[in-house]
Amino acid sequence: DRAISNVFLVGYKSGEELKIILRKAMFSVLPSEWYEPFGHTILESFASGKPVIASKIGGITELIKEGENGHLFEPGNVNQLRDRINDYLSNPIKVKKMGKIARSNVKKNYKPEDHYQKLLTIYRNLMS
């Protein structure tokens, strides 16, 4: 039996339930094989101060700065994913530091009011 006691496959979560899960987590893993246009899941982890290990595909690569706020691995490459997870598990101080960097980046670059202003600019340009 290959049961793992410290990994949880939680599926879709939102709101307070998601915040509680992220608060308890050391990091998040996004093993997507789909070309994600934008990784909202990644930003949620970053906002909670958690680095992310994710597939090197689509828009995910624009959010994760290798070794700074997370790590990437080739989609479907189980060995790379395993190595990244083992690296994180054996370096909790490094993971905590990366989580702080991730949170700082979200606070600086993804403020709701900035997003709102950008959307307004797009709408105004389309209307003129």
The larger pLDDT score, comparing residue 9 to residue 70, is at: 70
- Residue 101's alpha-carbon distances to 12, 18, 53, in angstroms, are 25, 21, 14
- Mean per-residue pLDDT, 38-52: 92
Mean pLDDT for the chain? 91
Structure tokens at 30: 């996004």
Which pairing describes strands 28-30 and 52-55: parallel, antiparallel, or unpaired?
parallel
Give pLDDT tens digits for 60-109. 999 999 999 999 999 999 999 999 999 999 999 999 999 999 999 999 98
